[in-house]
Structure 1
Amino acid sequence: MTGNPCWQTIPTKLSEAQFEQFVLPHLAKGHGRRGPAPTLSLHRIFNYVLQVLYMGCQWKTLPIDRNAQGLPEIHYTRIYRIFRRWQAMGCIDAIFAASVRRLHYDRLLDLTVIHGDGTTTAAKKGGDNLGYSGHKHLKGDKVVALCDRHCNVIAPFVTAAGNRNESPMLRDALPRLSQMARAIGMNLKGSIVSLDGVYDCRVNRKAIFNRGMVPNIPENSRARKTSKCGRKRRFNPAIFEERFRTIERVFAWEDKYPPMPRSHETGNQLHLWTDAMAAPASCDAQ
Protein backbone atom coordinates (compact mmCIF):
# COMPACT_ATOMS: atom_id res chain seq x y z
CA MET A 1 0.00 0.00 0.00
CA THR A 2 1.11 3.56 -0.69
CA GLY A 3 0.14 6.90 0.74
CA ASN A 4 0.44 8.72 4.01
CA PRO A 5 1.64 6.20 6.64
CA CYS A 6 -0.40 7.87 9.39
CA TRP A 7 -3.57 6.42 7.80
CA GLN A 8 -2.23 2.87 7.69
CA THR A 9 -0.52 2.11 10.97
CA ILE A 10 -2.22 1.00 14.16
CA PRO A 11 0.19 1.51 17.06
CA THR A 12 1.00 -1.79 18.73
CA LYS A 13 4.40 -0.74 20.05
CA LEU A 14 5.89 2.69 20.71
CA SER A 15 9.60 3.32 20.50
CA GLU A 16 11.33 4.55 23.62
CA ALA A 17 11.69 8.02 22.11
CA GLN A 18 7.97 8.19 21.25
CA PHE A 19 7.04 6.97 24.72
CA GLU A 20 9.23 9.49 26.53
CA GLN A 21 8.00 12.37 24.38
CA PHE A 22 4.25 11.72 24.19
CA VAL A 23 3.30 9.40 27.07
CA LEU A 24 5.74 9.38 29.99
CA PRO A 25 5.14 13.00 31.13
CA HIS A 26 1.48 12.16 31.76
CA LEU A 27 1.83 8.81 33.56
CA ALA A 28 1.84 8.23 37.30
CA LYS A 29 5.40 7.28 38.19
CA GLY A 30 4.69 5.35 41.39
CA HIS A 31 3.64 1.71 41.62
CA GLY A 32 0.84 2.08 44.13
CA ARG A 33 0.55 1.08 47.76
CA ARG A 34 0.45 -2.71 47.31
CA GLY A 35 3.29 -4.99 46.32
CA PRO A 36 6.86 -4.31 45.23
CA ALA A 37 7.80 -1.98 42.41
CA PRO A 38 7.65 -3.60 38.94
CA THR A 39 10.97 -4.76 37.54
CA LEU A 40 10.05 -3.67 34.01
CA SER A 41 10.20 -0.10 32.74
CA LEU A 42 6.99 1.86 32.21
CA HIS A 43 7.77 1.84 28.49
CA ARG A 44 7.58 -1.95 28.29
CA ILE A 45 4.47 -2.10 30.46
CA PHE A 46 2.77 0.49 28.27
CA ASN A 47 3.57 -1.54 25.15
CA TYR A 48 2.01 -4.61 26.78
CA VAL A 49 -1.17 -2.57 27.30
CA LEU A 50 -1.11 -1.60 23.63
CA GLN A 51 -0.74 -5.23 22.72
CA VAL A 52 -3.78 -6.24 24.77
CA LEU A 53 -5.89 -3.55 23.12
CA TYR A 54 -4.81 -4.58 19.64
CA MET A 55 -5.12 -8.35 20.08
CA GLY A 56 -8.42 -8.25 21.93
CA CYS A 57 -7.34 -11.11 24.20
CA GLN A 58 -7.98 -11.72 27.86
CA TRP A 59 -5.29 -10.46 30.19
CA LYS A 60 -4.32 -13.96 31.24
CA THR A 61 -3.64 -14.95 27.61
CA LEU A 62 -1.37 -11.98 26.90
CA PRO A 63 1.94 -13.29 25.44
CA ILE A 64 4.70 -12.15 27.80
CA ASP A 65 8.41 -12.40 27.03
CA ARG A 66 10.62 -14.69 29.10
CA ASN A 67 13.56 -13.60 31.21
CA ALA A 68 16.98 -15.24 31.51
CA GLN A 69 15.57 -17.90 33.86
CA GLY A 70 12.88 -18.89 31.33
CA LEU A 71 10.07 -17.36 33.41
CA PRO A 72 7.61 -14.61 32.37
CA GLU A 73 9.30 -11.26 32.96
CA ILE A 74 6.12 -9.91 34.60
CA HIS A 75 2.78 -11.34 35.67
CA TYR A 76 -0.25 -10.20 33.70
CA THR A 77 -2.03 -9.08 36.89
CA ARG A 78 0.72 -6.49 37.50
CA ILE A 79 0.12 -5.02 34.05
CA TYR A 80 -3.63 -4.97 34.64
CA ARG A 81 -3.32 -3.21 38.00
CA ILE A 82 -1.02 -0.55 36.57
CA PHE A 83 -3.41 -0.11 33.64
CA ARG A 84 -6.37 0.45 35.97
CA ARG A 85 -4.34 2.80 38.15
CA TRP A 86 -3.44 4.96 35.16
CA GLN A 87 -7.09 5.05 34.20
CA ALA A 88 -8.29 6.00 37.70
CA MET A 89 -5.68 8.78 38.06
CA GLY A 90 -6.66 10.47 34.78
CA CYS A 91 -3.52 9.59 32.87
CA ILE A 92 -5.59 8.51 29.86
CA ASP A 93 -7.30 11.88 29.61
CA ALA A 94 -3.94 13.65 29.96
CA ILE A 95 -2.36 11.63 27.13
CA PHE A 96 -5.30 12.35 24.86
CA ALA A 97 -5.41 16.08 25.64
CA ALA A 98 -1.66 16.45 25.16
CA SER A 99 -1.87 14.69 21.80
CA VAL A 100 -4.60 17.03 20.55
CA ARG A 101 -2.60 19.99 21.86
CA ARG A 102 0.46 18.82 19.94
CA LEU A 103 -1.54 18.54 16.71
CA HIS A 104 -2.94 22.02 17.30
CA TYR A 105 0.44 23.63 17.97
CA ASP A 106 1.93 21.95 14.89
CA ARG A 107 -0.96 23.34 12.80
CA LEU A 108 -2.09 19.86 11.77
CA LEU A 109 -5.74 20.39 12.71
CA ASP A 110 -8.31 21.72 10.24
CA LEU A 111 -11.19 22.96 12.40
CA THR A 112 -13.09 24.80 9.69
CA VAL A 113 -15.36 21.73 9.59
CA ILE A 114 -15.98 19.34 12.49
CA HIS A 115 -17.57 16.01 11.60
CA GLY A 116 -19.54 13.99 14.12
CA ASP A 117 -21.38 10.69 14.17
CA GLY A 118 -22.17 7.68 16.33
CA THR A 119 -21.56 3.96 16.09
CA THR A 120 -22.27 0.80 18.10
CA THR A 121 -19.51 -1.62 19.09
CA ALA A 122 -20.31 -5.23 19.86
CA ALA A 123 -19.61 -6.55 23.37
CA LYS A 124 -20.93 -10.07 23.69
CA LYS A 125 -19.36 -11.09 26.99
CA GLY A 126 -20.82 -8.38 29.17
CA GLY A 127 -19.92 -5.01 30.62
CA ASP A 128 -21.24 -2.17 32.73
CA ASN A 129 -22.92 -0.04 30.06
CA LEU A 130 -24.43 -2.30 27.41
CA GLY A 131 -27.72 -2.46 25.55
CA TYR A 132 -29.24 -4.20 22.57
CA SER A 133 -29.21 -2.19 19.34
CA GLY A 134 -32.26 -3.03 17.26
CA HIS A 135 -30.72 -1.24 14.27
CA LYS A 136 -27.54 -3.32 14.16
CA HIS A 137 -29.03 -6.38 15.89
CA LEU A 138 -26.25 -6.73 18.45
CA LYS A 139 -25.52 -6.01 22.10
CA GLY A 140 -22.88 -3.43 22.81
CA ASP A 141 -22.17 0.16 23.67
CA LYS A 142 -22.68 3.28 21.56
CA VAL A 143 -20.25 6.14 21.10
CA VAL A 144 -20.44 9.62 19.57
CA ALA A 145 -17.19 11.07 18.23
CA LEU A 146 -16.12 14.43 16.81
CA CYS A 147 -13.15 14.85 14.46
CA ASP A 148 -11.60 17.49 12.21
CA ARG A 149 -11.23 17.33 8.42
CA HIS A 150 -8.03 15.26 8.77
CA CYS A 151 -9.67 12.46 10.79
CA ASN A 152 -8.10 13.61 14.07
CA VAL A 153 -10.46 12.97 16.99
CA ILE A 154 -10.51 16.25 18.92
CA ALA A 155 -12.78 15.43 21.87
CA PRO A 156 -13.24 12.36 24.10
CA PHE A 157 -15.83 9.85 23.00
CA VAL A 158 -19.24 9.96 24.66
CA THR A 159 -20.36 6.44 25.51
CA ALA A 160 -23.78 5.01 26.31
CA ALA A 161 -25.68 1.74 26.10
CA GLY A 162 -26.31 0.38 22.63
CA ASN A 163 -30.06 0.94 22.88
CA ARG A 164 -29.68 4.70 23.45
CA ASN A 165 -30.64 7.26 20.82
CA GLU A 166 -27.65 9.11 19.38
CA SER A 167 -29.31 12.52 19.17
CA PRO A 168 -29.36 13.38 22.92
CA MET A 169 -25.76 12.17 23.25
CA LEU A 170 -24.63 15.12 21.14
CA ARG A 171 -25.54 17.45 23.99
CA ASP A 172 -22.96 15.63 26.13
CA ALA A 173 -20.32 15.61 23.37
CA LEU A 174 -20.41 19.35 22.67
CA PRO A 175 -19.40 20.43 26.22
CA ARG A 176 -16.43 18.06 26.02
CA LEU A 177 -15.45 19.65 22.73
CA SER A 178 -15.69 23.14 24.24
CA GLN A 179 -13.71 22.06 27.29
CA MET A 180 -10.94 20.63 25.10
CA ALA A 181 -10.90 23.82 22.99
CA ARG A 182 -10.46 25.99 26.09
CA ALA A 183 -7.74 23.74 27.50
CA ILE A 184 -5.49 23.87 24.44
CA GLY A 185 -6.46 27.24 22.97
CA MET A 186 -8.46 26.08 19.95
CA ASN A 187 -10.80 28.65 18.39
CA LEU A 188 -14.05 27.05 17.26
CA LYS A 189 -15.93 30.26 16.43
CA GLY A 190 -17.45 29.91 12.98
CA SER A 191 -16.59 26.22 12.63
CA ILE A 192 -19.15 24.13 10.73
CA VAL A 193 -20.44 21.08 12.59
CA SER A 194 -21.47 18.47 10.04
CA LEU A 195 -23.79 15.76 11.35
CA ASP A 196 -26.17 13.09 10.09
CA GLY A 197 -29.91 13.63 9.80
CA VAL A 198 -30.51 11.75 13.03
CA TYR A 199 -29.27 14.84 14.91
CA ASP A 200 -31.77 17.15 13.20
CA CYS A 201 -33.70 18.77 16.03
CA ARG A 202 -34.08 22.27 17.44
CA VAL A 203 -32.25 21.46 20.67
CA ASN A 204 -29.14 20.19 18.90
CA ARG A 205 -29.03 23.11 16.47
CA LYS A 206 -29.42 25.59 19.33
CA ALA A 207 -26.63 23.89 21.30
CA ILE A 208 -24.30 24.28 18.31
CA PHE A 209 -25.29 27.91 17.68
CA ASN A 210 -24.80 28.83 21.34
CA ARG A 211 -21.15 27.77 21.06
CA GLY A 212 -20.53 30.02 18.08
CA MET A 213 -20.53 27.21 15.54
CA VAL A 214 -22.73 26.57 12.52
CA PRO A 215 -24.69 23.31 12.08
CA ASN A 216 -24.63 21.51 8.75
CA ILE A 217 -27.35 18.89 9.20
CA PRO A 218 -29.71 17.57 6.51
CA GLU A 219 -33.35 18.02 7.40
CA ASN A 220 -34.90 14.79 8.62
CA SER A 221 -38.39 14.44 7.17
CA ARG A 222 -39.30 11.92 9.85
CA ALA A 223 -38.73 14.54 12.55
CA ARG A 224 -41.81 16.59 11.59
CA LYS A 225 -45.30 15.80 10.39
CA THR A 226 -45.76 19.00 8.39
CA SER A 227 -43.34 20.96 6.21
CA LYS A 228 -41.45 23.80 7.87
CA CYS A 229 -42.54 27.33 6.98
CA GLY A 230 -40.03 29.98 5.96
CA ARG A 231 -36.61 29.59 4.41
CA LYS A 232 -34.81 26.27 4.47
CA ARG A 233 -32.06 25.66 6.96
CA ARG A 234 -28.49 26.08 5.77
CA PHE A 235 -27.03 22.83 4.42
CA ASN A 236 -23.97 22.21 2.22
CA PRO A 237 -24.09 18.75 0.56
CA ALA A 238 -20.40 18.92 -0.41
CA ILE A 239 -19.34 19.32 3.22
CA PHE A 240 -21.71 16.57 4.29
CA GLU A 241 -20.15 14.16 1.79
CA GLU A 242 -16.78 14.59 3.51
CA ARG A 243 -18.02 12.53 6.45
CA PHE A 244 -17.47 9.30 4.51
CA ARG A 245 -13.72 9.93 4.39
CA THR A 246 -13.43 11.52 7.84
CA ILE A 247 -15.65 10.32 10.67
CA GLU A 248 -16.52 7.05 8.93
CA ARG A 249 -12.81 6.44 8.44
CA VAL A 250 -12.29 7.00 12.17
CA PHE A 251 -14.90 4.36 12.99
CA ALA A 252 -13.42 1.98 10.42
CA TRP A 253 -10.04 2.44 12.07
CA GLU A 254 -11.55 1.78 15.49
CA ASP A 255 -13.20 -1.40 14.22
CA LYS A 256 -9.72 -2.69 13.38
CA TYR A 257 -9.44 -3.24 17.10
CA PRO A 258 -11.38 -6.46 17.82
CA PRO A 259 -14.62 -6.10 19.79
CA MET A 260 -13.27 -8.54 22.40
CA PRO A 261 -11.55 -5.92 24.61
CA ARG A 262 -14.93 -4.33 25.25
CA SER A 263 -16.24 -7.81 25.95
CA HIS A 264 -13.70 -8.90 28.55
CA GLU A 265 -13.51 -5.54 30.35
CA THR A 266 -16.18 -4.43 32.79
CA GLY A 267 -15.55 -0.75 32.04
CA ASN A 268 -16.59 1.10 28.89
CA GLN A 269 -13.66 3.55 28.64
CA LEU A 270 -11.55 1.56 26.17
CA HIS A 271 -12.85 3.68 23.32
CA LEU A 272 -10.94 6.58 24.83
CA TRP A 273 -7.91 4.34 25.33
CA THR A 274 -7.80 3.39 21.64
CA ASP A 275 -8.11 7.10 20.91
CA ALA A 276 -5.26 8.04 23.20
CA MET A 277 -3.08 5.16 22.04
CA ALA A 278 -3.23 6.23 18.39
CA ALA A 279 -2.55 9.90 18.95
CA PRO A 280 1.18 9.71 19.83
CA ALA A 281 1.97 7.57 16.79
CA SER A 282 -0.12 9.79 14.52
CA CYS A 283 1.68 12.91 15.76
CA ASP A 284 5.03 11.31 15.09
CA ALA A 285 4.01 10.02 11.66
CA GLN A 286 2.86 13.43 10.51
Structure 2
Amino acid sequence: MGQRRPWEVDDGLWERIAPLLPVVERRIRYPGRKRLDDRRVLNGILFVLYTGIPWEFLPQELGFGSGMTCWRRLRDWNEAGVWQQLHELLLAELRARDVLDLPRVSVDGSHLRALKGGDATGPSPVDRGKTGSKHHVIVDASGIPLAATVTGGNRNDVTQLLPLIHAVPPIRGKRGRPRRRPDVLYADRGYDHDIYRRQICELGIRPLIARRGTEHGSGLGKNRWVVEAAFALLHWFRRLRIRWEIRADIHRAFLTLGCVIICWRRLKPSLQ
Protein backbone atom coordinates (compact mmCIF):
# COMPACT_ATOMS: atom_id res chain seq x y z
CA MET A 1 0.00 0.00 0.00
CA GLY A 2 1.43 3.37 -1.01
CA GLN A 3 2.28 6.12 1.46
CA ARG A 4 -0.57 8.50 2.23
CA ARG A 5 -0.11 11.95 0.78
CA PRO A 6 -0.30 14.81 3.28
CA TRP A 7 -3.52 16.26 1.85
CA GLU A 8 -5.35 12.93 2.06
CA VAL A 9 -7.58 12.78 5.13
CA ASP A 10 -6.76 9.73 7.22
CA ASP A 11 -9.46 7.55 8.75
CA GLY A 12 -9.06 8.90 12.28
CA LEU A 13 -9.53 12.52 11.29
CA TRP A 14 -12.38 11.66 8.93
CA GLU A 15 -14.23 9.87 11.75
CA ARG A 16 -14.21 13.17 13.63
CA ILE A 17 -15.11 15.38 10.66
CA ALA A 18 -17.92 13.35 9.06
CA PRO A 19 -20.49 13.76 11.89
CA LEU A 20 -20.00 17.55 11.79
CA LEU A 21 -20.74 17.97 8.08
CA PRO A 22 -24.24 19.22 7.25
CA VAL A 23 -26.47 16.63 5.59
CA VAL A 24 -27.57 17.64 2.09
CA GLU A 25 -30.64 15.76 0.91
CA ARG A 26 -30.72 14.96 -2.77
CA ARG A 27 -33.81 16.21 -4.54
CA ILE A 28 -36.19 13.47 -5.65
CA ARG A 29 -37.53 15.52 -8.53
CA TYR A 30 -34.87 16.94 -10.84
CA PRO A 31 -32.01 15.48 -8.77
CA GLY A 32 -29.34 16.73 -11.15
CA ARG A 33 -25.78 15.48 -11.08
CA LYS A 34 -24.83 13.21 -8.18
CA ARG A 35 -23.08 15.10 -5.37
CA LEU A 36 -19.36 14.42 -5.20
CA ASP A 37 -18.15 12.50 -2.14
CA ASP A 38 -17.38 14.86 0.76
CA ARG A 39 -14.11 13.15 1.65
CA ARG A 40 -12.77 13.59 -1.88
CA VAL A 41 -13.73 17.24 -1.87
CA LEU A 42 -12.04 17.76 1.50
CA ASN A 43 -8.89 16.23 0.03
CA GLY A 44 -9.12 18.85 -2.72
CA ILE A 45 -9.48 21.66 -0.17
CA LEU A 46 -6.44 20.37 1.70
CA PHE A 47 -4.51 20.09 -1.57
CA VAL A 48 -5.08 23.82 -2.10
CA LEU A 49 -4.10 24.56 1.52
CA TYR A 50 -0.87 22.56 1.27
CA THR A 51 0.23 23.61 -2.23
CA GLY A 52 -1.26 27.09 -2.60
CA ILE A 53 -2.45 26.20 -6.11
CA PRO A 54 -5.22 28.41 -7.59
CA TRP A 55 -8.66 26.82 -7.42
CA GLU A 56 -9.02 26.76 -11.20
CA PHE A 57 -5.83 24.70 -11.57
CA LEU A 58 -6.89 21.95 -9.17
CA PRO A 59 -5.89 18.67 -10.91
CA GLN A 60 -9.05 16.91 -12.08
CA GLU A 61 -7.25 13.59 -12.46
CA LEU A 62 -6.82 13.34 -8.67
CA GLY A 63 -10.59 13.01 -8.20
CA PHE A 64 -11.14 16.16 -6.14
CA GLY A 65 -13.83 17.60 -8.38
CA SER A 66 -13.63 21.10 -9.79
CA GLY A 67 -12.02 23.99 -7.97
CA MET A 68 -15.41 25.70 -7.74
CA THR A 69 -16.93 22.62 -6.09
CA CYS A 70 -14.16 22.58 -3.47
CA TRP A 71 -14.46 26.34 -2.92
CA ARG A 72 -18.21 26.10 -2.38
CA ARG A 73 -17.86 23.25 0.11
CA LEU A 74 -15.16 25.16 2.01
CA ARG A 75 -17.50 28.16 2.16
CA ASP A 76 -20.58 26.17 3.13
CA TRP A 77 -18.81 24.10 5.78
CA ASN A 78 -17.25 27.24 7.21
CA GLU A 79 -20.65 28.93 7.42
CA ALA A 80 -21.99 25.81 9.16
CA GLY A 81 -19.22 26.14 11.76
CA VAL A 82 -17.58 22.82 10.86
CA TRP A 83 -13.97 23.97 11.16
CA GLN A 84 -14.51 25.71 14.51
CA GLN A 85 -16.39 22.73 15.93
CA LEU A 86 -13.64 20.39 14.75
CA HIS A 87 -10.96 22.58 16.33
CA GLU A 88 -12.82 22.58 19.65
CA LEU A 89 -13.33 18.82 19.46
CA LEU A 90 -9.61 18.19 18.97
CA LEU A 91 -8.66 20.62 21.74
CA ALA A 92 -10.95 18.71 24.10
CA GLU A 93 -9.33 15.41 23.14
CA LEU A 94 -5.87 16.90 23.59
CA ARG A 95 -6.84 18.12 27.05
CA ALA A 96 -8.37 14.76 27.97
CA ARG A 97 -5.05 13.08 27.15
CA ASP A 98 -3.01 15.70 29.06
CA VAL A 99 -1.33 16.99 25.91
CA LEU A 100 -2.52 20.59 26.35
CA ASP A 101 -0.70 22.88 28.79
CA LEU A 102 -3.38 25.52 29.34
CA PRO A 103 -2.14 27.46 32.40
CA ARG A 104 0.48 29.26 30.25
CA VAL A 105 -0.24 30.79 26.83
CA SER A 106 1.65 32.99 24.37
CA VAL A 107 0.38 35.42 21.74
CA ASP A 108 1.89 37.05 18.66
CA GLY A 109 1.07 38.38 15.20
CA SER A 110 2.60 37.82 11.77
CA HIS A 111 2.33 39.80 8.52
CA LEU A 112 1.51 38.34 5.14
CA ARG A 113 0.82 39.91 1.77
CA ALA A 114 -2.75 40.12 0.48
CA LEU A 115 -2.23 40.33 -3.27
CA LYS A 116 -5.90 40.76 -4.19
CA GLY A 117 -6.97 43.04 -1.35
CA GLY A 118 -10.38 42.50 0.21
CA ASP A 119 -11.80 42.49 3.72
CA ALA A 120 -9.40 42.59 6.69
CA THR A 121 -6.50 44.03 4.69
CA GLY A 122 -4.54 47.26 4.99
CA PRO A 123 -1.22 48.95 4.19
CA SER A 124 1.52 46.96 5.87
CA PRO A 125 4.04 49.07 7.84
CA VAL A 126 6.69 46.36 7.45
CA ASP A 127 6.23 45.87 3.69
CA ARG A 128 6.53 49.40 2.28
CA GLY A 129 2.82 50.06 2.67
CA LYS A 130 1.76 47.22 0.39
CA THR A 131 -1.63 45.66 1.02
CA GLY A 132 -1.41 42.95 3.61
CA SER A 133 -3.09 41.08 6.44
CA LYS A 134 -2.02 39.83 9.83
CA HIS A 135 -2.42 36.46 11.47
CA HIS A 136 -2.87 36.66 15.23
CA VAL A 137 -2.43 33.43 17.20
CA ILE A 138 -2.67 32.35 20.83
CA VAL A 139 -1.03 29.04 21.74
CA ASP A 140 -0.63 26.89 24.84
CA ALA A 141 2.75 26.31 26.50
CA SER A 142 3.60 23.59 23.97
CA GLY A 143 2.67 25.63 20.88
CA ILE A 144 -0.76 24.15 20.12
CA PRO A 145 -2.97 26.87 18.57
CA LEU A 146 -6.00 27.65 20.71
CA ALA A 147 -7.40 30.41 18.48
CA ALA A 148 -6.37 32.46 15.45
CA THR A 149 -7.74 35.61 13.85
CA VAL A 150 -7.12 37.70 10.73
CA THR A 151 -6.94 41.51 10.56
CA GLY A 152 -5.61 44.18 8.25
CA GLY A 153 -1.85 44.50 8.00
CA ASN A 154 -1.97 47.96 9.59
CA ARG A 155 -3.58 46.81 12.83
CA ASN A 156 -1.37 46.97 15.90
CA ASP A 157 -0.84 43.57 17.54
CA VAL A 158 -1.91 44.82 20.95
CA THR A 159 -5.39 45.73 19.69
CA GLN A 160 -6.02 42.03 19.09
CA LEU A 161 -4.83 40.86 22.49
CA LEU A 162 -8.23 40.81 24.19
CA PRO A 163 -10.08 39.53 21.09
CA LEU A 164 -7.61 36.63 20.97
CA ILE A 165 -8.17 35.79 24.63
CA HIS A 166 -11.94 35.89 24.14
CA ALA A 167 -11.63 33.78 20.98
CA VAL A 168 -10.31 30.82 22.98
CA PRO A 169 -13.30 28.46 23.22
CA PRO A 170 -14.37 26.66 26.41
CA ILE A 171 -12.13 23.59 26.26
CA ARG A 172 -13.68 20.42 27.60
CA GLY A 173 -12.02 17.04 28.08
CA LYS A 174 -11.86 16.99 31.88
CA ARG A 175 -14.48 16.63 34.57
CA GLY A 176 -15.92 19.89 35.79
CA ARG A 177 -16.28 23.18 34.01
CA PRO A 178 -14.54 23.70 30.65
CA ARG A 179 -11.24 25.58 30.82
CA ARG A 180 -11.13 28.88 28.97
CA ARG A 181 -8.76 31.25 30.73
CA PRO A 182 -5.02 30.67 31.28
CA ASP A 183 -3.18 31.64 34.43
CA VAL A 184 -0.27 33.39 32.70
CA LEU A 185 0.05 35.14 29.31
CA TYR A 186 3.40 35.77 27.61
CA ALA A 187 3.89 38.42 24.92
CA ASP A 188 6.68 40.49 23.36
CA ARG A 189 7.30 44.25 23.53
CA GLY A 190 4.64 45.00 20.93
CA TYR A 191 2.02 44.28 23.58
CA ASP A 192 3.56 46.52 26.25
CA HIS A 193 0.68 48.85 27.12
CA ASP A 194 -0.40 49.32 30.73
CA ILE A 195 -4.09 49.69 29.87
CA TYR A 196 -4.08 46.20 28.34
CA ARG A 197 -2.10 44.82 31.26
CA ARG A 198 -4.85 46.01 33.60
CA GLN A 199 -7.58 44.56 31.42
CA ILE A 200 -5.81 41.20 31.32
CA CYS A 201 -5.43 41.23 35.11
CA GLU A 202 -9.17 41.91 35.42
CA LEU A 203 -9.75 38.62 33.59
CA GLY A 204 -7.75 36.82 36.25
CA ILE A 205 -4.70 36.36 34.00
CA ARG A 206 -1.16 37.36 34.97
CA PRO A 207 0.50 39.23 32.07
CA LEU A 208 4.23 38.61 31.52
CA ILE A 209 4.99 41.09 28.75
CA ALA A 210 8.44 42.35 27.83
CA ARG A 211 8.95 46.05 28.54
CA ARG A 212 9.81 48.45 25.74
CA GLY A 213 13.04 50.37 26.11
CA THR A 214 14.74 47.64 28.11
CA GLU A 215 17.58 45.44 26.99
CA HIS A 216 16.89 42.05 25.51
CA GLY A 217 17.47 39.06 27.73
CA SER A 218 14.39 39.25 29.94
CA GLY A 219 14.17 35.45 29.83
CA LEU A 220 10.61 35.51 28.52
CA GLY A 221 11.80 34.15 25.18
CA LYS A 222 12.21 30.67 26.65
CA ASN A 223 8.43 30.61 27.01
CA ARG A 224 7.39 32.69 23.98
CA TRP A 225 9.31 30.78 21.30
CA VAL A 226 6.44 28.30 20.99
CA VAL A 227 4.22 30.86 19.27
CA GLU A 228 6.93 31.49 16.66
CA ALA A 229 7.11 27.74 16.12
CA ALA A 230 3.33 27.69 15.63
CA PHE A 231 3.60 30.38 12.95
CA ALA A 232 6.29 28.35 11.21
CA LEU A 233 3.93 25.36 11.10
CA LEU A 234 0.98 27.43 9.91
CA HIS A 235 2.98 29.16 7.19
CA TRP A 236 4.34 25.82 6.04
CA PHE A 237 0.91 25.60 4.38
CA ARG A 238 1.53 27.59 1.23
CA ARG A 239 -2.01 28.98 1.12
CA LEU A 240 -1.30 30.74 4.42
CA ARG A 241 2.01 32.33 3.37
CA ILE A 242 0.32 34.74 0.98
CA ARG A 243 -3.34 35.69 1.15
CA TRP A 244 -5.03 35.11 -2.21
CA GLU A 245 -8.64 35.24 -1.00
CA ILE A 246 -10.57 38.48 -1.37
CA ARG A 247 -13.12 37.22 1.14
CA ALA A 248 -11.76 37.26 4.67
CA ASP A 249 -14.07 34.44 5.78
CA ILE A 250 -12.52 32.07 3.25
CA HIS A 251 -9.02 32.93 4.42
CA ARG A 252 -10.10 32.47 8.06
CA ALA A 253 -11.47 29.06 7.09
CA PHE A 254 -8.04 28.08 5.75
CA LEU A 255 -6.38 29.46 8.90
CA THR A 256 -8.67 27.48 11.21
CA LEU A 257 -8.17 24.38 9.06
CA GLY A 258 -4.41 24.82 9.46
CA CYS A 259 -4.86 24.96 13.24
CA VAL A 260 -6.97 21.80 13.04
CA ILE A 261 -4.26 19.87 11.21
CA ILE A 262 -1.61 20.94 13.73
CA CYS A 263 -3.88 19.78 16.57
CA TRP A 264 -4.50 16.45 14.84
CA ARG A 265 -0.77 15.87 14.36
CA ARG A 266 -0.23 16.43 18.10
CA LEU A 267 -3.14 14.18 19.05
CA LYS A 268 -2.33 11.17 16.85
CA PRO A 269 0.71 9.90 18.84
CA SER A 270 -1.38 9.79 22.03
CA LEU A 271 -3.97 7.58 20.30
CA GLN A 272 -1.51 4.84 19.44
- After TM superposition, the score normalised by the length of structure 2 is 0.82
Distance of aligned partners of 1:152 and 1:90 in 2 relative to their CA distance in 1, 3 Å threshold: same
Deviation (angstroms), 1:52: 0.9
2:134 is the alignment partner of 1:128? no
Deviation (angstroms), 1:77: 2.0
Partner of 2:213: 221
For residues 30-49 of structure 1, the aligned pairs below 5 Å read 30=24, 36=32, 38-49=34-45
8 A contact 1:52–1:62 mirrored in 2: yes
Structure 1 residues 19-41: Cα deviation after superposition (integer angstroms, max 9, x where no partner): 11x21122213268897475432
2:255 to 252, 255, 271: 271
2:230 to 229, 247, 250: 250
Aligned residues: 255
Partner of 1:185: 178
For residues 59-98 of structure 1, the aligned pairs below 5 Å read 59-65=55-61, 74-98=65-89
**Unpaired runs of at least 5, structure 1:** 1-9, 67-71, 223-235
Q: Secondary structure at the match of 1:221?
A: coil
Equivalents in 2 of 1:31, 1:77: separation in Å?
20
Paired letter, 2:143: C
Structure 1 residues 235-285: Cα deviation after superposition (integer angstroms, max 9, x where no partner): x933433222x0001111122122576214522313223212332333214
8 A contact 1:112–1:192 mirrored in 2: yes
Paired letter, 2:179: M
In terms of mean alpha carbon deviation, does 168-177 or 73-82 score higher?
A: 73-82
Paired letter, 1:253: L
**Unpaired runs of at least 5, structure 2:** none
Distance of aligned partners of 1:16 and 1:152 in 2 relative to their CA distance in 1, 3 Å threshold: same
Equivalents in 2 of 1:17, 1:181: separation in Å?
21
CA RMSD of aligned residues (A): 2.9
8 A contact 1:104–1:186 mirrored in 2: no
Paired letter, 1:202: D
Paired letter, 2:41: I
Structure 1 residues 87-125: Cα deviation after superposition (integer angstroms, max 9, x where no partner): 111111111111111111111011232111111122213
8 A contact 1:11–1:277 mirrored in 2: no
For residues 108-257 of structure 1, the aligned pairs below 5 Å read 108-137=99-128, 138-155=130-147, 157-177=148-168, 179-181=169-171, 185-186=178-179, 188=181, 191-221=183-213, 237-244=218-225, 246-257=226-237
- After TM superposition, the score normalised by the length of structure 1 is 0.79
Deviation (angstroms), 1:182: 7.5
Distance of aligned partners of 1:128 and 1:241 in 2 relative to their CA distance in 1, 3 Å threshold: same
